[in-house]
Structures are given as structure tokens and as C-alpha cells.
Amino acid sequence: MTPYSLAFYVDVVTTGTVLGARPTDSPERLGEVLGTDYAENVSGRHHMWRDHGLVEFFWERDRPTDPWSGHHFTLQVHRLAHRRRSLVGAALRDRYGRFAPRLRYDTLRRLLDRRGVPLLEIPEAAANTPYFRTFWQPDSRVAVRVIGTYGRYSTPDRLRVGDVHSIQAPVSGPDEFRDRPSG
């Protein structure tokens, strides 16, 4: 049995979902899975995301009258270093228990290796090099961003080299991730 939040991260990287919620699910479906405690953000009429603290889901649409189409989700793992208990929503706490303030990449990788789930290092955007390294799981299309080296204004002060910064899905491949904003 994998303790606490480690099981959550293994589940996300293995399945490309959050408690079964897919990146393409509607805002209504996400509310059923993660609850209604979130901040909703809209950028213009075409982009929206819901911030559930640790988890953010993103949608887009062509016209204001169109339904929202799920785009991706990001686990903002770096936020856990602030040690705010309210950051992890009730649905995640009920299923996985407490969450540690940091996630070590080596620990996550070791657990995934035991399950036969490989992570491949992919090129990082030039602006993020050498501060971040990114590893990709091709079957679930999940990317794991890790602190590569400390940079005073480039990396969070509360994280160490080797800590996971964020986890994002879906990522089709190395080129898509390199060109996508880190939000």
C-alpha cells in the first residue's frame, strides 16, 4: 500500500485522471467529482479554469454560446509547500488522507517503475532551462515538472532540487509541452 498522497500521484500519472475526472470532462462533471469549493476564473469569453487549490482544470470554447470544452488539468504540487490545510479539497482528503508538503521526484519515479509505468525526460522550454526538468508518461499523456536547479527568481523558494513542481495532462508529446504555458 502506497501511503497518503503518494497513491494519489501514482493514480494521476498512471491514468491521466483526477479521481476519474478526465481533462475533457465538463465543469459540471468536475463539480460532481471534486465538489463546489473552487475559484472560477474566466479569461475573456473563450477560456475558463477552476482552481480547487491543488488541482486546476481548464476549458475553452470558440464562441460564448458554445459549451465549454475541457483542455487540460494541472496539479499545482508546489502550493503544498505553503502548508495550508485547506489547499487539498475534501474529496482528495477523504480518498487519500493527508498530503505531504513536498513530493520528491525520485520517490514518485520509484513507485511508478515498480508498476511498470515509465517516465521519459523530454526537452524543456529554453526559458525554463536549467531550472526545470520535465518527464512524460506516453500512455497516460501526463507530464511531471521537477525542479532541476535552484534559481533565485526562477523557482519557488520553498522547494528543493528534485521536488515535483507540477503535474499536467494531457500532453501529446515533447513538442506540445515545450510550447505550452506552464499554467
DSSP for 19-49, please give it. TTB-TT--HHHHHHHH-S--EEEEETTTEEE
Digitized pLDDT (tens) for each residue of the chain, 183 residues in all: 355 789 999 999 999 999 999 999 999 999 999 999 999 999 888 999 999 999 999 999 999 999 999 999 999 999 999 988 789 999 999 999 989 999 999 999 999 999 999 999 999 888 899 999 999 999 999 999 999 999 888 888 899 999 999 999 999 776 655 555 555
End-to-end Cα separation, the chain, in angstroms: 32
In Å, what is the CA distance from 144 to each residue of 27, 40, 91, 120? 24, 24, 22, 10
Query: What residues does 166 pair with on adjacent strands?
Result: 145
C-alpha cell at position 48? 475558463
